[in-house]
Structure 1
Amino acid sequence: MAAEELPVPSTSTRRETQLLPSKGTSFLIPDKDKSFHKQYANIYFLRLNALRDSVLQNAERKWKHVEGDPIHVPRVLEVVKAKLCYVVGTVYMEMPLKPSVMEDIARDVRPLPFRPFRLLTAWYMIVTCQQHSIAPPPPPSKICSPDDSIMLEDESGRIRLVGARVKAAPLVTGVIIGVLGVETPNGDFEVVDICYAEMPPPTYPKEDEGAAMEVEEEDAYIAVVSGLDVGAPSAADAHLQLLVEYLTGEAGGLDDAVSASHISRLVIAGNSLSTVVVAEEVDDRKARKYGYDNTTFSPHPTLSLSAILVDIGRTMPIHLLPGASDPSGSIMPQQPLPRRMFGAVSKLSTFSCETNPTYVDLAFGSRKRQLLIHSGQPLDDMFKYLPSPARRLDLAEATLRWQHMAPTAPDTLWCHPFFHAEPFVLPNTPNLYIIGGQRKFATRMVGPDDRRCRIVLVPHFASTGTVVLVNMRTLDAKTVTLRTHRMAGGAHEDQAPTNGREPTPTPAEPDLTMSEPDLSQMEE
């Protein structure tokens, strides 16, 4: 029996954006396809077949007037020595520091000597294994090194890419590229130029600005946060309460309330719950209630998050994406969090649990916008491949030019073994590309005039108190910083205990700071 939806109070003064049926790829995995019996190699074949034609068309257009009359070679193993040619394939980074499953198994398992024994006049050989107690080293923040090699592969085989041009290019495993060059006497391919698929056509073509201005003049924003980190040992409860009060128009003065009324909906881009820290169990025989031990698990973070979402959901629609620390599995694409786990907010029609990544299509007046949102795992994984100084904003822009949002899956980013089609390929350019779970705010407008895209990196809210606001009319981005002058429940830093007693706690004073993106925020 379906739960009855609670009525949502109407707010006539709040801007509204209409949710449209999504034209983007669906990241929902049907139950019949939730199988891991298929090989992951099929993903690379699907990716190469999907992007080969786009890369080849750009390569022919780019290199048709190059001196030397380069020829197209259909397979990487068919390149001709000392002849200028170009070929399309998949990048593979051979990196000594890359995590290896086989090394993990070798570290955990130690074979003992063979021990023969007699059974029913026959000799059998058995191997017993003993588990080690050696903890693996922490994963490195970077897996690149001077010993890395760049390969280009397709259905026929693999060839090594060399040259200053390819060494300087920001490449990661899984990118489909075209390379122009010649084969060297030792069998390598020296690259002189590189070609990508480039940004695909937009889902919604650019509208007539003059006609749109005649229909509506006022702005509508969407608010984006990431990393609420509810349930962390040092939770930012004051920031969370300020977030609720700001979005509902209860914080600050009249100007802040007017600003909040322009926010049409909220997007939470992952990491809403903190990573669960399980305490060591003292007695396994201890009785457990409802299937878990209440000394090692607490439901309070989920209840706290539900209370926050209820207050906001009565005011505006909410789109909740899972993240790396949320209980939604670790493989991409992450499936929606169960609505039932959020209690009362699950009955609101304004509350939506999304996949990670997800597409959200919105309409504001005569304008239509497509949002592509993910919680940051693909960008974090790709960032490990590049030496410092590398910019996350440049890497996010590169994914649009590659027409692929997560090329390192399944090599170093866990993903589902897709067999029929790969959803991470970008068939169209979104109007807004939102990436959560980042260290700091950054934004950039990229692409030619007919396929412009606003990239927004959303910082961790629990540590920065930053809310990102994106104008649905102009696609401009700005931030609102929520902070308190004094920590709630604590003493002022200049206040000392008197007469051996702690001072009386001073209530927190809210401070809302709104800022337009400047040059320091535009680039990392």
Structure 2
Amino acid sequence: LLAAGLTGVDVRATLCGVDEVFAELAELVSVDIMPGRDDPSNLSLPQMPMHPGLFRRLRGCGGFTSVGNPAQFNLDGLQVLGHSGQPVDDLLRCVRLPSDDKAPLEALCTCLDGLHLAPTAPDTLVSQTFQGADPFIIDDVPHVLFSGGHGRASFRWHRSSDPGPGGTQCICVPAFHRQQAIVLVSLCNPREVTLETFDGVETAAAGDNQTLAGQPVDVPSA
């Protein structure tokens, strides 16, 4: 998982740079690009996928997909759900949590406990008007729940209330311009998480994950 918002003043130049980097990456692995708060998409949630025409090289790669925000994926049976961070940031404006690097993770876990991705929408978080079903309700608890665009990476295994080894890996992915790092999650065991930074330092899973790493997780076959 990699979060990298458009931070440059020259949006066209920034898009060209993103296009070059991810086109090279898409030759090796599948690449999904999700819009964030300041990216060329609609402001209100859910955000529409960015137009493929913005990525001249990347759009020709077979492994490229432009996805909306939030988005849900099934990766070989591993259920992944996440967004670009706006719901967590807005929740932190409305509730009192410790003002440290772990606050976004606490807010994300709170959303999981409530089975709702954006609990402050539409009151203080701009969202589209829907009739009937709420698009932010978490109907099926995922194996991985992520939120992007944060100051520092943090993650925690959130145990399921049901008996057994089940649960959800909650991950706050750093904005790349704030922390040059990627978060790697094992498709076989989502409790195995690695934070790899681009200064040559690789940090293995910490906290609850250290005691749980290596234990099997029931991930159904695709």
TM-score range, shorter chain: 0.7 to 0.9
Structure 2 counterparts to residues 288-367 of structure 1, below 5 A: 299-363=12-76
Corresponding position: 1:470 with 2:203? no
**For each residue in 1:443-467, what CA deviation from the matched residue of structure 2 results, as whole angstroms up to 9, or x when unmatched?**
1111323641110111121222111
Give the 3 Å change call, closer, same or farther, for CA 465–421 of structure 1 in structure 2.
Answer: same
The equivalent of 1:117 in structure 2 is: none
Distance 1:298 1:336 in 2: 17
> 76, 79, 85: which is aligned to 1:376?
85
Structure 2: where are the runs of 5+ without partners?
211-222
**Matched AA of 1:274:** T
1:429, CA displacement in angstroms?
A: 0.2
**For each residue in 1:422-480, what CA deviation from the matched residue of structure 2 results, as whole angstroms up to 9, or x when unmatched?**
11011110000011111111111113236411101111212221111111111111111
Structure 2 counterparts to residues 409-424 of structure 1, below 5 A: 409-424=121-136
Structure 2 counterparts to residues 417-432 of structure 1, below 5 A: 417-432=129-144
1:521, CA displacement in angstroms?
A: 10
CA contact (8 A) 2:152 2:178 kept: no
Give the 3 Å change call, closer, same or farther, for CA 301–521 of structure 1 in structure 2.
Answer: farther
**For each residue in 1:259-315, what CA deviation from the matched residue of structure 2 results, as whole angstroms up to 9, or x when unmatched?**
xxxxxxxxxxxx2x2264xxxxxxxxxxxxxxxxxxxx6622221111111111111
**For each residue in 1:96-152, what CA deviation from the matched residue of structure 2 results, as whole angstroms up to 9, or x when unmatched?**
xxxxxxxxxxxxxxxxxxxxxxxxxxxxxxxxxxxxxxxxxxxxxxxxxxxxxxxxx
The equivalent of 2:7 in structure 1 is: 274
CA contact (8 A) 2:8 2:14 kept: no
Structure 2 counterparts to residues 148-297 of structure 1, below 5 A: 224-227=1-4, 271=5, 273-274=6-7, 276=9
Give the 3 Å change call, closer, same or farther, for CA 424–454 of structure 1 in structure 2.
Answer: same
CA contact (8 A) 1:477 1:516 kept: yes
**For each residue in 1:176-223, what CA deviation from the matched residue of structure 2 results, as whole angstroms up to 9, or x when unmatched?**
xxxxxxxxxxxxxxxxxxxxxxxxxxxxxxxxxxxxxxxxxxxxxxxx
The equivalent of 2:214 in structure 1 is: none
Distance 2:23 2:90 in 1: 33
Q: Structure 2 length normalisation: TM-score?
A: 0.85
**For each residue in 1:216-272, what CA deviation from the matched residue of structure 2 results, as whole angstroms up to 9, or x when unmatched?**
xxxxxxxx1112xxxxxxxxxxxxxxxxxxxxxxxxxxxxxxxxxxxxxxxxxxx2x
Distance 1:298 1:324 in 2: 14
CA contact (8 A) 1:441 1:457 kept: yes
The equivalent of 1:440 in structure 2 is: 152
Give the 3 Å change call, closer, same or farther, for CA 388–432 of structure 1 in structure 2.
Answer: closer
> 194, 202, 209: which is aligned to 1:514?
202
Distance 1:373 1:388 in 2: 21
SS, match of residue 464 in structure 1: coil
* RMSD over aligned Cα atoms: 2.0
The equivalent of 1:453 in structure 2 is: 168
Distance 1:360 1:436 in 2: 15
CA contact (8 A) 2:195 2:205 kept: yes
1:357, CA displacement in angstroms?
A: 0.5
Distance 1:432 1:453 in 2: 5
> 481, 488, 497: which is aligned to 2:197?
481
Distance 1:299 1:477 in 2: 34
**For each residue in 1:333-383, what CA deviation from the matched residue of structure 2 results, as whole angstroms up to 9, or x when unmatched?**
1110000110021011100000010001011xxxx1110021100000001
Distance 1:375 1:321 in 2: 7
Distance 1:401 1:369 in 2: 20
CA contact (8 A) 1:382 1:408 kept: yes
Q: Which protein shows a greater Rg?
A: 1
Distance 1:412 1:445 in 2: 29
**Matched AA of 2:56:** G
Give the 3 Å change call, closer, same or farther, for CA 392–303 of structure 1 in structure 2.
Answer: closer
**Matched AA of 2:174:** P
CA contact (8 A) 1:433 1:455 kept: yes
**For each residue in 1:145-171, what CA deviation from the matched residue of structure 2 results, as whole angstroms up to 9, or x when unmatched?**
xxxxxxxxxxxxxxxxxxxxxxxxxxx
SS, match of residue 463 in structure 1: coil
SS, match of residue 178 in structure 2: helix
SS, match of residue 468 in structure 1: strand
The equivalent of 1:407 in structure 2 is: 119
CA contact (8 A) 2:19 2:56 kept: yes
**For each residue in 1:68-90, what CA deviation from the matched residue of structure 2 results, as whole angstroms up to 9, or x when unmatched?**
xxxxxxxxxxxxxxxxxxxxxxx
1:396, CA displacement in angstroms?
A: 1.2
